[in-house]
Structure 1
């Protein structure tokens, strides 16, 4: 019997691959930094929320998520859902106006 790939199976396998790759802290850092560097038109709280959820899912699968991190994630997710991440994006825009940019670096 021939195995037929559907859009759903490809999407699912990509998501599985993404979550697996995000177990690596360097990959997760680069992935998240991409969403923080988007210009104003590309910034959407839902996309940032989705990226954060992917990283959390990867950490859960790797059994590498503390209760404190889980709690902070839930608080941040609530904040992003309530006000579209305005505080985060305003901070990024303010720093940009001062000549800075946000850079994520994994802790040693």
Structure 2
């Protein structure tokens, strides 16, 4: 029987960051965090997901100064509010029969 090694949390994080270099994977990853039901939301999850995407872009040398500034502002806002504004917008749109979809700009 073949020996199987479970990945360590460090190797999983490395794998995650590597996969988030792909814009479609990054969009889907953030999208999942935005679609969490209210009881599944934790303020740190969205912040962590955004940080992981930013880290992947930094490793690819693919993050503009403008994006860095927006990320810093958004991270500060999320740390203070837990993302309540974002989730309220999503719930409002859902009540209207819409949902937000993240797709790469090409």
TM superposition shift of 1:44: 1.8
1:11 aligns with 2:9: yes
Q: Which residue of 2 aligns with 1:58?
A: 56
Q: Which residue of 1 aligns with 2:26?
A: 28
TM superposition shift of 1:34: 0.4
Mean Cα deviation higher: 38-47 or 74-83: 38-47
TM superposition shift of 1:46: 0.5
1:94 aligns with 2:69: no
Q: Displaced runs of 4+ in structure 1, greater than 6 A?
A: none
Q: Which residue of 2 aligns with 1:105?
A: 103
Distance 1:80 1:32 in 2: 14
Distance 1:45 1:76 in 2: 13
TM superposition shift of 1:96: 0.5
Q: Mind listing any 5+ residue stretches in structure 2 that lack a counterpart? A: none
Match of 2:92, SS state, is: helix
TM-score for both structures, normalised by structure 2: 0.92
Q: Which residue of 2 aligns with 1:83?
A: 81
Q: Which residue of 2 aligns with 1:67?
A: 65
TM-score for both structures, normalised by structure 1: 0.90
After superposition, the C-alpha distances for 1:30-78 in whole angstroms (9 at most, x for unaligned) are: 1110000111111222000000000000000000000000000000000
Distance 1:45 1:63 in 2: 28
Distance 1:107 1:99 in 2: 24
